[in-house]
Structure 1
Amino acid sequence: MEGKIQKKIAYLMLTVFFISVLSGCERKHEAYVSASTTIRDNTPVCLVPEASGTVVYGNELVSVDASNTGEGYVMIAYHGTNEKVKMQLTGPDYMTYTYDLYGNDYEAFPLSVGGGTYSIGVYENVADSQYATVFAQDIEVEITNAMGAFLYPNQYVNFNSSSRVVEEAKILVAPAHDDLEAINYIYNYIVENFMYDYDKAENVQSGYIPDVDEIFEIKTGICLDYAAVMASMLRSQQIPTKLEVGYAGEAYHAWISTYVDDIGWINGIIQFDGVNWSLMDPTFAANAGSKQLKSFIGDGSNYVTKYNY
């Protein structure tokens, strides 16, 4: 077992997803080959968040269903008529996540920090950028499914059993022997087939939410689109995946991290071994020239995660 783990770690450090720094814009790829001879089960498993009704808070404008917080999510619905409604979720790390609320239906929001006290606030727009509080509630969370927040769909990673990305993921990973190969197949497809939309990046509005099936169809988008599509595909294959938002240098950016048994979380930047960059950032891997990428990433400290979805 120890030998297998060391072999996997060596692979991750040296060959996960290569971009050569010696060959201009050409990407050097070395395929990961699993030691297993058994094909992994590629049957999609799309978890469905539920508003079970056993633990509910609210008023005439807002409903909060905390029945399944142990699974790593809370369900929130707005029932009013105001067209500009914000929800803020502050976790035990005191980091505040701000979301837009849409319509009367429940939406799932991840409890990505783990157990502890979460504060929920809902606010209606009253004028310009001014909002008034219409609901506030603290909830106590005890997580029973440590990976739930990164397996269930949510507002940013929004998929279900009927989503095209789910079916495409099933097809792409069919030859895979283990989760690492499955990640490799999906990552390489995104890197080789998607193009960055510079115009969209210049004009994207605050509160933008990716439509993962639409992005997969047109195969162009911004960093949040890349990350949301890949996260949806991997989660549907029961591979825990974080959609991470933060800063790459001075640029606001999104990328992913995944969890693999016996290894743990594979973070956005793995390591530079003197020859190759090893990373799990599909936007840069698909678009940046290798010298440009090396100069930008530096030692990996340019990547600062602010939010996990």
Structure 2
Amino acid sequence: MNKMKKVFLLMLTLSCFLFGCSSQKDVKEYPSDYPDSSGYGIDDIYYPDNSGQKILSSDIANVNYSHIDQGYVTASLNHKSEQKIKLLIRKGEKSYYYDLINQNPVAFPLQMGNGKYYLGIYENVEGDNYAMKKSLTLDVQIKDELSPFLYPNQLVDYQPGDKITSIAIDIVKKDKNDLQRIQNIYNYVVDNITYDDEKAVEATQKYLIPNLNNIIKNKTGICFDYASMMVAMLRINHIPARLICGDTDVEYHAWVEVYIEGEGWINPDIFMDKGTWTRMDPTFASSKFDYNGKYQAIYYY
């Protein structure tokens, strides 16, 4: 992967929503009247619940759908398998396929809103062919449409006691509102992760699920890791955020959207830098490269 492509490996996308700025030439003062809100502590972090008796059970894996009103299911393997096992979550024409690799329950989001969902457990039989082991159709009614973006899941995975939880709480402890928290979380990612060339090459050969513990330890990653870490830190602080995978003018890419109360989902462009609005992007910030191309979202996590 060449250097030009590397600068496109992360775009954190918020909008310049308070002042309607559309370019860096139209610089506005950084908002100071954004409403204050209390912060959160370690004990306030949301974690998925694997209790309940509503189980889609098979000989290879189980899916617990007892808490679909919170916007997620949990799933786990019953035992190690030499065959690839996948969970399919589908609503309408949109399908999400996940590799089941863990015998401990992991959350998977129901991020497509209310309605009829299809859940299926599939086992690889040969090549790219999979056999359906068990399936179920559910009428999902989520109490809060933002819930799927406040919990950890397979691609934004953190557990009680993980280092990222204490870091995420600590770096915003002096902040008075969510806008300040978003900025400090962004700055932390910019300052503490460098791009991993070797992993980028590996990612062209196989699908790599972000491991936040390793990212914190090694301080390196690719776009998927940057986005996962940013989303995790925001969710830990009760700020709804979603990891997005899609296309840029250069290649397939991962970035972030954040939900701001009163404004909705904020996506390209962000203008935030201390006292003024400027473009905000962790990879671009470190490379000093200004990308103004397209972002086409395909998957939301």
Using the size of structure 2 for normalisation, the TM-score is: 0.82
Contact 1:82 1:124 in 2 (8 A): no
* 1:156-182 Cα distance to aligned partner (Å, 9 max, x none): 001133121111111211221100000
Contact 2:244 2:300 in 1 (8 A): yes
Q: Secondary structure at the match of 1:10?
A: coil
Change (3 A) 1:54 1:13: farther
Over aligned residues, Cα RMSD in angstroms? 2.8
Displacement of 1:33 in angstroms is 5.8
Equivalent-residue separation in structure 2 for 1:31 and 1:172 (angstroms): 24
Equivalent-residue separation in structure 2 for 1:193 and 1:62 (angstroms): 37
Contact 1:91 1:117 in 2 (8 A): yes
Gaps of 5+ in 1: 1-7, 22-27
Number of equivalences = 279
Aligned to 2:253: 253
Equivalent-residue separation in structure 1 for 2:37 and 2:64 (angstroms): 39
| Percentage of identical aligned residues | 34
Aligned to 1:5: none
Larger displacement relative to structure 2 (33-42 or 234-243): 33-42
Contact 1:109 1:154 in 2 (8 A): yes
Equivalent-residue separation in structure 2 for 1:39 and 1:137 (angstroms): 41
Equivalent-residue separation in structure 2 for 1:37 and 1:52 (angstroms): 37
Contact 2:30 2:277 in 1 (8 A): no
Aligned to 2:3: none
Change (3 A) 1:159 1:103: closer
**Greater relative contact order (Cα 8 A, min sep 6): structure 1 or 2?**
2
- Name the structure with the higher helix share: 1
Equivalent-residue separation in structure 2 for 1:155 and 1:37 (angstroms): 33
Aligned to 2:149: 150
Displacement of 1:122 in angstroms is 1.9
Gaps of 5+ in 2: 1-15
Aligned to 2:7: none
Structure 1 residue 105 corresponds to structure 2 residue 99: no
Equivalent-residue separation in structure 2 for 1:147 and 1:37 (angstroms): 20
Equivalent-residue separation in structure 1 for 2:173 and 2:207 (angstroms): 35
**Alignment match of 1:34 (pick from 32, 47, 52):** 32
Aligned to 1:278: 279
1:171-210 matches, within 5 Å, as 171-204=170-203, 205-210=205-210
Equivalent-residue separation in structure 1 for 2:250 and 2:134 (angstroms): 35
Displacement of 1:307 in angstroms is 0.7
1:121-160 matches, within 5 Å, as 121-160=120-159
Aligned to 1:303: 295
Contact 1:117 1:138 in 2 (8 A): yes
Q: Secondary structure at the match of 2:180?
A: helix
Aligned to 1:25: none
